[in-house]
């Protein structure tokens, strides 16, 4: 019997997540597909890692002092991570979020004690974009830092030093491929760099949703988007500082419908309730697995990220009305009402 970890500090509950072999995806790919269970973090998403690293980095640089405030613009999960970390360390939290994100995330942020500011979704070039609004609030607040997750590379360091070595150790030093989608790029770039440091032959793939510009960028050098996606937390239109020098070998583009297929199968066949970015990641991992198998590597091992829990999307991804409104297929067990 192995003993579950014992911790003496609640912040040590962040990271060191389990990894699980996904049976349906492995069968579909013809090789092993592993999912890193980031929904098992205290804030129920991969972003707890970045939140902790960003706050610790600001403390170490002397920018965040006792009683200070952490301000951030976020699709939600980073805000939840920051609110928990800030509570544990005695800081206040102000979160700016586009108002088209799930109700659950907004309710969660308020419940955790964060001050929530919502703004209409708009282009990055607009000064009222949630990212710029959060920077302005940080500048106007006493003893505050702007977490700046997109361009603060403390974000990807969480994955270089945490997620990547964990995956490497959990899979006993045999990883052939890794892929995930990009929001800030912290996870893909950080895990990519961390795994390449162990073995430069690990194939690192971008899995891009529709509506994001990175697939075209890595395929042919042009930042250009096509289509759209309802997936929250992913889909990037520029090369963030976290993405600079990311060791990306290949890329896949995955539709919401394909991602939803895996969300449905993982829930109904394997008992995992996940958000859409996880489904898109698994679809990408299956594509990467198939690519490796087609090259004769039937024993390939591919890892991806199960980013957050589906419980965060009961009013969206798991709601028949909402899915119909978005023109997406309704999961058959939800019925039509
Ligand atoms: N999935 C979800 C649900 C997220 O909230 C995020 C973070 N924006 C990501 C994936 C992408 O992670 P990263 O910011 O590290 O690219």
The string of pLDDT tens digits covering residues 220-237 is 999 999 999 999 999 999
Would you name the residues annotated as active-site residues? Answer: 47
Distance 1 CA to ligand 1 centre (A): 34
Mean pLDDT across 52-73: 97
Name which residue leads in pLDDT, 176 or 335. Answer: 176
Mean pLDDT across the stretch 166-178? 98
Range 51-77 average pLDDT: 95
C-alpha 125/C-alpha 131 separation (Å) is: 10
Ligand 1 pocket, CB under 6 A: 45-47, 75, 77, 181-187, 232-234, 275, 277, 307-308
| Per-residue confidence (pLDDT) for residue 103, from 0 to 100 | 85
The stretch 110-123 carries a mean pLDDT of 95
Confidence class of residue 1 from pLDDT cuts 50, 70 and 90?
confident
Please state which of the ranges 37-46, 134-143, 328-337 shows the lowest mean pLDDT: 328-337
* Contact (CB, 8 A) for 29 and 302: yes
pTM for the full predicted model: 0.96
In this predicted structure, the answer to whether residue 101 has a pLDDT above a threshold of 90 is: no
Q: What domains, with CATH codes, occur in the chain?
A: 10-40+163-324 (3.40.50.1100), 47-146 (3.40.50.1100)
3-state SS assignment for residue 214 = helix
Looking from the CA of residue 236, the nearest atom of ligand 1 is: 16
**Cα separation of 123 and 131, whole Å?**
10
| CA–CA dist 29, 65 (Å, integer) | 49
Determine the average pLDDT of the residues in 29-44.
Answer: 98
How far apart (Å, rounded) are the C-alpha atoms in residues 44 and 266? 17
SS3 310: helix
Least confident of 99-103, 177-181, 204-208: 99-103
d(CA 200, CA 193): 9
Residue 271 has pLDDT above 70, yes or no: yes
Ligand 1, atom 8, lies closest to the CA of: 233
d(CA 147, CA 48): 13
Contact assessment for residue 291 and residue 250, using Cβ atoms and an 8 Å cutoff: yes
Q: How far is the CA of 304 from the centre of ligand 1 (A)?
A: 13
* pLDDT surpasses 90 at 104: no
Beta bridge partners of 21: 34
> What pLDDT was estimated at residue 336?
61
Per-residue pLDDT for 198 more than 80? yes
pLDDT in tens, 278-323: 999 999 999 999 999 999 999 999 999 999 999 999 999 999 999 9
Order of all β-strands in the sheet with 203-209: 19-21, 32-37, 301-306, 177-180, 203-209, 250-254
Residue at token pair 């690293």: 53
Task: Give the CB-side neighbour count of residue 321, counting CA atoms within 13 A.
Answer: 3
337 CA distance to ligand 1 centroid (A)?
31
H or E segment and range at residue 35: strand 32-37
Q: Is pLDDT at 337 greater than 90 in this prediction? A: no
Q: Ligand 1 test: best mutation among 106, 134, 187, most atoms within 8 Å of CB?
A: 187
Place of tokens 């990055």: 124
Mean pLDDT, to the nearest integer, of 50-79?
Answer: 95
User: Which residue, by CA, sits nearest to atom 12 of ligand 1?
Assistant: 183
Q: Greater confidence, 187 or 74?
A: 187
Length of the chain as a residue count: 337
Joined tokens for residue 298: 């039937």
Asked if residues 167 and 303 have their Cβ atoms less than 8 Å apart, the reply is: yes
Token representation of residue 96:
């700016």
Kindly report the protein residue whose alpha carbon is nearest to atom 2 of ligand 1: 233
The owner of tokens 């991804």 is: 317
- Quickly state the pLDDT bin for 2 (edges 50, 70, 90): confident
| Exposed / middle / buried, residue 9 (Cβ in 10 Å: 0-12, 13-18, 19+) | exposed
Residue 244, pLDDT above cutoff 80? yes
């Amino acid at each position: 019997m192995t003993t579950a970890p014992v911790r003496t500090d609640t912040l040590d509950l962040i990271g060191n997540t389990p990894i699980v072999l996904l049976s349906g995806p492995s069968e579909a790919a013809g090789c092993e597909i592993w999912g890193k269970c980031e929904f098992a973090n205290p804030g129920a998403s991969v972003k707890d890692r970045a939140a902790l690293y960003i706050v610790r980095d600001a403390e170490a640089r002397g920018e965040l002092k006792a009683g200070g405030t952490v301000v951030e613009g976020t699709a939600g999960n980073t805000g939840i991570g920051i609110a928990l970390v800030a509570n544990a360390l005695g800081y206040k939290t102000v979160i700016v979020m586009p108002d088209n994100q799930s109700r659950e995330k907004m309710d969660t942020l308020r419940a955790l004690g964060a001050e929530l500011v919502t703004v209409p979704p708009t282009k990055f070039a607009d000064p009222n974009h949630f990212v710029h609004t959060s920077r302005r609030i940080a500048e106007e607040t006493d003893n505050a830092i702007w977490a700046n997750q997109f361009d603060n590379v403390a974000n990807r360091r969480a994955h270089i030093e945490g997620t990547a070595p964990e995956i490497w150790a959990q899979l006993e030093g045999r990883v052939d491929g890794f892929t995930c989608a990009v929001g800030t790029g912290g996870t893909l770039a950080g895990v990519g760099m961390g795994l390449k440091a162990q073995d430069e032959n690990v194939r690192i793939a971008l899995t891009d949703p529709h509506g994001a510009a990175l697939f075209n960028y890595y395929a042919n050098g042009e930042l250009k988007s096509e289509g759209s996606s309802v997936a929250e937390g992913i889909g990037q239109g520029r090369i963030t500082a976290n993405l600079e020098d990311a060791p990306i070998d290949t890329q896949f583009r995955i539709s919401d419908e394909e991602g939803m297929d895996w969300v449905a199968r993982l829930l109904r066949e394997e008992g995992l309730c996940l958000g859409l970015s996880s489904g898109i990641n698994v679809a990408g991992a299956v594509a990467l697995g198939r690519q490796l198998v087609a090259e004769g590597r039937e024993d390939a091992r591919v890892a991806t990220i199960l980013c957050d829990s589906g419980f965060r999307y009961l009013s969206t991804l798991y709601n028949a009305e909402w899915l119909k409104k978005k023109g997406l297929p309704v999961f058959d067990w939800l019925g039509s009402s």
